[in-house]
Structure 1
Amino acid sequence: MRCCSAQITGVWESPEQTLENAEQVFCEAARAGAALISFPEQFATGWDPASNKNSEDFTGPTVTGLRRLAEKYSIAAIGSFREAFSPQPRNTSIAIGNDGEILATYAKIHLFTPGGENRAFTPGAGLATFTLGGVRFGLAICYDLRFPEIFRLYRREGVHAVIVPAAWPESRIRYWELFIQSRAAENQMYVAGVNTTGTNPVDRYAGASMTADPHGTIIARACEGNELLYYEIDPLVAECARRDFPVENDRKDALYVSLMREQTP
């Protein structure tokens, strides 16, 4: 499956304008033969850990705009937005099929507490998977990359690839590559991180969207500016890696649980 990471700078706090600009991105990705296009974290507004402005439900401009464009250009899409929720909004990623139908939604589990995101958003409490063109996908968002447990759970669900929309700052970009490669190699899956770029009121971002294959090898990497990054996902590569090097068989999950209990005061 040919996929596209749309490393673009949205219009700050303007989902309607960003979606209008994104149409050309959909058009180009579809012409290039991509079956799936993914956007950065809260791409339509810009990621802001303290803002609930432009929170919307599934009838709002971001979701309806993505659904319209996915159907118009017959390409599946993944986008992140501020989902209206009580008592506070959620940072949600949504997968949309090439017919405009919603395939899966995922609310960010690990909110970025060093930036105060936990004070303005409600954390998610569940994973999300969907199948497209024979590939089983999982969803995660940005800071989730630092928590290998959820990627391990996706591996147990038979996921071939995890898509990670992000707003990963330039100051910590070296960890971005480290975590993408690690999560991919640990779980013998593709991990595709699509990052934002440019400078906004929150931080400076250096792009560097990248995809690692099930061996942890970087197979696609973007530069710093706006860019459409293409890469291929082959579920057989993940399945062969797991068959030929069956790390899964050597895990001791029951022991890990008992050891954690022993450490509990």
Structure 2
Amino acid sequence: MKLKIRGVQSRRMALHDATEYLSSLHPESDEIIVFPEKFITEKINSSNLDTILNSIRFNNTVILGSLSYMDRFLFNRSFIIRNRKIIGWQDKINLYRAEAAKYTPGNELKIFDMGNYRAGILVCYDLDFPDYPRMLFRDHCDVIFNPSLIRKDFHREWHLYVKTRSLENRIPVISINSISDDFMGDSIIAYPHREEGGVRLDIVQDKKDDIVYTLDTDAYATSREERLREEKIMLEHIRNIVQ
């Protein structure tokens, strides 16, 4: 299965500007569109979420970055949209520093069955913790979307996390950052694929423009299943060592 990804490295913007920006986009029909974390700076509720949805003129699958979304409590929530309708969402679980004073953490890690592939969303800091990608890996996830908001001074560490999570789980990670001045884009896609003798990791980066790449899930599905079998052997070894 081929998945064409377009990571939109948008600036952070107010709701009115964001709806104008969304209405101006005309992606290719087969592209999966991914936005950064908190690319809309205002708090969103069900009413102005409808305004956002109505501004989208295309039927593509969209990972709407993440939004500061009020649902009784304030969540850092990433919506997944198809045909201009919400089909699910993932709340950020591990809140970063000052976020914990404002937001309610998510309490569920979801996987989305998209028909021909299975997707997971880890919002920014959640990718730092290996157990979350590993849970998605164990549920035969095909791609991890990672809407992010990473300050420019921490790009090296962020890229290391993306590469490591992709390679250790044999799953592509699409991590998209804002190009606003404090963050400076530099989005990254890490894509594992099988070659004779082992697994290679392709890296695609861009400082400021949309980042576009086509993944072939067949290129890493076998490696992922092999790693699942290897993990079972490893866990058995650990049990024997502990005993």
State the 1:19 CA deviation: 2.0
Superposed counterparts of 1:80-119, under 5 Å: 80-86=66-72, 88-97=73-82, 99-113=83-97, 116-119=98-101
Taking only aligned residues, the RMSD between alpha carbons, in angstroms, comes to 2.4
Q: Give the partner amino acid of 1:8.
A: S
Q: Which runs of 5+ in 2 are unaligned?
A: 193-198
Give the corresponding residue for 1:169. Answer: 151
Contact preservation (8 Å) 2:12, 2:180: no
Aligned equivalents of 1:228, 1:2: Cα separation in 2: 13
Aligned equivalents of 2:202, 2:175: Cα separation in 1: 11
Residue 35 of structure 1 pairs with residue 31 of structure 2: yes
Contact preservation (8 Å) 2:94, 2:126: yes
Give the corresponding residue for 2:10. Answer: 8
Residue 206 of structure 1 pairs with residue 184 of structure 2: yes
Which stretches of structure 1, 4 residues or more, deviate above 4 A after TM superposition?
243-246, 253-256
Residue 217 of structure 1 pairs with residue 201 of structure 2: yes
Give the corresponding residue for 1:236. Answer: 218
State the 1:232 CA deviation: 1.3
Aligned equivalents of 1:8, 1:150: Cα separation in 2: 26
State the 1:175 CA deviation: 0.8
Q: Give the partner amino acid of 1:191.
A: V
State the 1:101 CA deviation: 2.2
The secondary structure found in structure 2 opposite 1:197 is coil
The secondary structure found in structure 2 opposite 1:185 is helix
**Alpha carbons of 1:65 and 1:131: their partners in 2 closer, same or farther (altered >3 Å)?**
farther
> More displaced, 233-242 or 157-166?
233-242
State the 1:103 CA deviation: 1.9
Superposed counterparts of 1:21-32, under 5 Å: 21-24=21-24, 26-27=25-26, 29-30=27-28
Question: Match for 1:67 among 44, 53, 76?
Answer: 53
Contact preservation (8 Å) 1:219, 1:231: no
Contact preservation (8 Å) 1:92, 1:108: yes
State the 1:250 CA deviation: 2.8
How many pairs are equivalent? 232
The secondary structure found in structure 2 opposite 1:60 is helix
Give the corresponding residue for 2:196. Answer: none
1:176-223 Cα offsets, whole Å, 9 max, x none, are: 110000000111101000001122xxxx11211111113562442111
Residue 248 of structure 1 pairs with residue 231 of structure 2: yes
Q: Give the partner amino acid of 2:8.
A: A
TM-score, normalised relative to structure 2: 0.86
Aligned equivalents of 1:210, 1:242: Cα separation in 2: 21
Contact preservation (8 Å) 2:20, 2:55: no
Aligned equivalents of 1:193, 1:156: Cα separation in 2: 20
The percent of aligned pairs where both chains have the same amino acid is 23
Aligned equivalents of 1:207, 1:60: Cα separation in 2: 30
Q: Give the partner amino acid of 1:221.
A: Q
The secondary structure found in structure 1 opposite 2:175 is strand
Residue 149 of structure 1 pairs with residue 131 of structure 2: yes
Q: Give the partner amino acid of 1:144.
A: D
Point out the structure with the larger strand share.
2
